[in-house]
Structure 1
């Protein structure tokens, strides 16, 4: 096969968007130019890479295989570029990371501090749910992710870097707001607003209350911590969230942390990537930065005052 890097770049954009027009806009090319590059690539491969059904574009089996190798080639080229720049003594490169939605409350601070030390580094940040993070790790799409405890059986390298306490929250006028040492059984009388099944918070909460023989009323499910906090503030029920999501609400008095027996549920944050992954110099530097600096940067004063 005689394939050019330009053809691979165009193919990757079309395969990602599954749309020639959007790929052309991203690459600042005309749509005929994109179509020509794809046609030449298909002629070189000897198989169609896309198929058209109505107005929808799909990858063929050969297209899916080519997309897999195309992404791998792109990652290796980026890695090579960063290694060469590192050998030149230039502290620059691109960092591509994903974080759990809960971790975004402190991840932006970490990135801001890191960029202040390495101003020539650029980054892409994807804030998403646990299922997507695991899929990205499986496909090796990101340099690394920041998330709660990942599974043990997926070939991942994980390192804990900071505690992640889960607490029970309520509006300040709730009857339990002024009580001390509230028993877990007392929570069975209250409705709860919880994260969706499959989220790290839901898994930890479900395991904790099952171990203590407590059955919560969890009829309302939300897909974000912001939605949970707003629902709790509106009086729809109690909630369980990471303390790291509450700094603003606790400072303004919009929510309170209940004084619960056996709480908080103590979890940890992890920096995660595929086992055996060769991190680029900038990714390795960021990982070391997170492991050494994160717990010192993220304030716990609101936890202690709560």
Structure 2
């Protein structure tokens, strides 16, 4: 292995992560034959095959799995070293790897804007995905920090709440209940509901509230995207329950309104998490402290600026 290069290890890691030479080539801006050759040379240095190919998919061999774990340790140590050196120089620089739950896409970019302006030397890798994949990435320690909307069952997780994430009832702005106050929860039983897909944190919270009160609603439509749900509501297909943050950039011309329903908003929170025992890099610790100390204030300021901008254009 003494002639193995860091470049070969990076190529192998990308191929292993994607289970594909083609996708690794696209990520690294290389040709597929180049990736294949680099992996072949690496396997020759190891003395054992690193992949086996079944159909069009690559699977790691035992040696491949061991090498992948070693690669990630090497890359983590190098990244940590680079960040430590930058910190010693008085500069916050390096890469911040974030994995965030899909609904956090309304929150995290607005938090990252001021953060990246303050620390221009920090590059951000942002993975936006569903709860299941977040947990998978968490178990493999692929990211620095994880932004989630429900507490994980994993007792090895360090979790801190940093922002309220209330769930509200959304309806078309011309809905008959739009101007009513203290709408009884039972009144929703006659309304067609648009729900997130089964298994989503939002849907679970809504179903729990309805079950407590013995209420059953008719689900007319299931959608896996908050934006799709908002469009369906605006189109008059029904009402739904979503995070109030999904309304942050709607502005004064929105076709949606929040209904004043008993039992709402449902109190929920955004959490920042990382595996227990994980040593946060300088960059990750800087962003963690920023979330805990300034996150709520930053979002309030950006929301106010958006509303003022919309008002000025109107």
- TM-score with structure 2 setting the length: 0.89
C-alpha spacing 1:28/1:130, structure 2 compared with 1 (3 Å): closer
User: Any stretches of 5+ residues in structure 2 without a counterpart?
Assistant: 307-314
Q: Aligned partners of 1:285 and 1:118: how far apart in 2? A: 10
- Which residues of 2 match residues 169-188 of structure 1 at below 5 A? 169-188=170-189
- Which residues of 2 match residues 243-254 of structure 1 at below 5 A? 243-249=244-250, 251-254=252-255
Q: Aligned partners of 1:219 and 1:71: how far apart in 2? A: 46
Query: 2:101 matched to which residue of 1?
Result: 100
Query: 1:131 matched to which residue of 2?
Result: 132
Listed one character per residue, the Cα deviations across residues 223-275 of structure 1 (whole Å, up to 9, x for unaligned) are 11101111111111110000011133352131010011121001011111111
Count of residues in Structure 1 that have an aligned counterpart in Structure 2: 302
The Cα of 1:106 is off from its aligned counterpart by: 1.9
Are 1:236 and 2:237 matched, yes or no? yes
Determine if contact 1:166/1:242 at 8 Å carries over to the other structure: yes
The Cα of 1:91 is off from its aligned counterpart by: 1.7
Q: Aligned partners of 1:149 and 1:25: how far apart in 2? A: 34
Listed one character per residue, the Cα deviations across residues 65-110 of structure 1 (whole Å, up to 9, x for unaligned) are 3223322321222112111221222221111102222211121111
The Cα of 1:34 is off from its aligned counterpart by: 3.2
Q: Aligned partners of 2:261 and 2:32: how far apart in 1? A: 61
**Pairwise CA RMSD of aligned residues?**
2.1
SS of match in other structure, 1:168 = strand
SS of match in other structure, 1:236 = coil
The Cα of 1:177 is off from its aligned counterpart by: 1.2
Q: Aligned partners of 1:28 and 1:165: how far apart in 2? A: 42
Q: Aligned partners of 1:87 and 1:217: how far apart in 2? A: 59
- TM-score with structure 1 setting the length: 0.91
The Cα of 1:22 is off from its aligned counterpart by: 4.1
